[in-house]
Structure 1
Amino acid sequence: MNTQLNGLIALVTGSNTGIGRAIALLLAANGAKVGVTYLNNKEQGEETVAMIREAGGQAALFQADVSDTEQIDRLVAGVEEALGGTVDILVNNAGHLVRRCPNTEMTEELYDQIMNVNLKSTVFMCKRVLPGMKAKGFGRIVNMSSVAAHNGGGPGSSIYAASKAAIASYSKGLAKEAAADGITVNIVSPGFIGQTAFHATFTTDEARKATVSGLPLKREGTPEDVAGAVLYLVSDLASYLTGETIEINGGMLMR
């Protein structure tokens, strides 16, 4: 048993930068052919693909808004055509806080936007790849939750936190449905992960320092910390794990 993914096709949403990029790079380094996706920044996506290819791996780039089911269909079909088969590994990394907003100011439009980019995208990406996985009797799905799912998140992020909690609950239900077909479904739940657009956008330097000082490990996490957990979950090492959540938070939350 090892972490080699030779010949397997992986699709990592939101993999043009940050956590998604780290996951795509590590899966490719372990032999997977990787579908890299981006929403707006094509240049970052091209950089990710170039990094994989320069290291000797295989990757192809795709643009998609994964909150749109028609674009999900086109994305998966494109990956299957470009990489020569159905998806073996799906990592639903794409997601967004969108913006901080207290509940007294929440609009239906913003609510829908937050839930769609996080929960809806996860549900319908899973739905789209499951038939191919079932046909092969094998599949690995990793969905992205957050420490916010447990503590309600920071100021103005309660709907984001709820969407991440829903992802964890949905994943457990899907794990039960898919198990008989040789498919595992697990969850990674990052805490304070630095070097990401999320904290660059939504977290002040003061809040960052206060959070890190309160962590048992006394450092912020890195995208590579999350990628390592994902690699474990999609490899043979985790073949008997399904419906589980790995908390990656430096001891912020111990369960």
Structure 2
Amino acid sequence: MDLELKDKTAIVTGSARGLGAATARRLAQEGARVVVTDIDGEGAEATAKELAGLGHRAIAVRADITSGADVDGLVAAAEEFGGVDILVNNAGFPRDTLLTKMTDTDWDSVIEVILKGSFLVTRAVMPQLIERRWGRVVNISSRSYLGNPGQANYSSAKAGILGFTRALAAEQGRYGITVNAVAPGFMETEAVRSLDHYEKIREKAVAAQPLRRTGQPEDIADAVAFLASERASFITGETLHVTGGRFG
């Protein structure tokens, strides 16, 4: 299936590794020009070099997406590829602990990156999408929006992403812009594999799913590529759960 992404330009936040890197790779395979961006500049550079080595068009931009100045620089850097067509708001991280032990920093840092970061980057690219009368915004939420113990900060941020998605879909649809979300379940990333008791966590997650395997970053990348494509041109305001069938 041709997703018609050739020569489109995509920014993927948090794409030094994990789900973001897999998404950048998938979009590049479809012919998109990819701006790899992360607060980890060296990691972003490594991912961009990997893509370029495979014959894809990619650049790396080190950016803290909670900084307006960094976001402006990121969007300006995308002009090397002629501006932005696709934005994937992927950057984010958990900082898990029970509410009674959660510090202000635990709360603020997670909310700032996931919600404020998505707001700042989307606001910065939206004028270009409106001018083109075409655009795709794909926001990475999580099954955690349903609520996980020890993740009041992360669950709140990921639930907020869904409200952000629906509001923008209603607001920007008249310009030919679609805004959707992907909600991953348990994904086998490097960060997850490094967790204490990983095997026990993995077994519990897989047992709760109808599909008895771990999710892979490529599963998310495929979902994002579809939602960014012409094949999904009449889908907006939706949340695509990529969870192996687990919702609760």
Q: Deviations over 1:163-221 (max 9, x none)?
A: 00000111100111100011100000000010241453476321221211232111110
Residue from 126, 129, 141 that aligns with 2:125: 129
Residue from 186, 189, 211 that aligns with 1:192: 186
Q: Distance in 2 between matches of 1:203 and 1:227?
A: 26
TM-score, normalised via structure 2 length? 0.95
- 8 Å contact kept, 2:41–2:62: no
Identity of aligned residues (%): 39
Q: CA deviation at 1:237?
A: 0.4
TM-score, normalised via structure 1 length? 0.92
> Is the counterpart of residue 74 in structure 1 residue 73 in structure 2?
yes
SS of residue paired to 2:194: helix
- 8 Å contact kept, 2:41–2:63: no
Query: Which blocks of at least 5 consecutive residues in structure 2 are unaligned?
Result: none
> Is the counterpart of residue 159 in structure 1 residue 153 in structure 2?
yes
SS of residue paired to 1:142: strand
Q: Distance in 2 between matches of 1:95 and 1:7?
A: 27
Query: 1:140 aligns to what?
Result: 136
Summarize the Cα distance change of 1:91–1:203 in structure 2 as closer, same or farther, 3 Å threshold: farther
SS of residue paired to 1:251: coil
Query: Which blocks of at least 5 consecutive residues in structure 1 are unaligned?
Result: none
Supply the AA of the counterpart residue of 2:138: V
Q: CA deviation at 1:76?
A: 1.0
Query: 2:15 aligns to what?
Result: 15
Runs of 4+ with deviation above 4 angstroms: none
- 8 Å contact kept, 1:115–1:159: yes
Summarize the Cα distance change of 1:111–1:10 in structure 2 as closer, same or farther, 3 Å threshold: same
Q: Distance in 2 between matches of 1:170 and 1:214?
A: 28
Summarize the Cα distance change of 1:15–1:202 in structure 2 as closer, same or farther, 3 Å threshold: farther
Query: 1:88 aligns to what?
Result: 85
- Give the total of aligned pairs: 248
Q: Distance in 1 between matches of 2:101 and 2:41?
A: 30
Supply the AA of the counterpart residue of 2:63: A
Query: 1:249 aligns to what?
Result: 243
Query: 1:114 aligns to what?
Result: 110
Supply the AA of the counterpart residue of 1:8: K
Query: 2:100 aligns to what?
Result: 104
Residue from 174, 177, 180 that aligns with 2:168: 174
Q: What are the within-5 Å matches in structure 2 for residues 203-218 of structure 1?
A: 204-218=198-212
Q: Distance in 1 between matches of 2:193 and 2:116?
A: 23
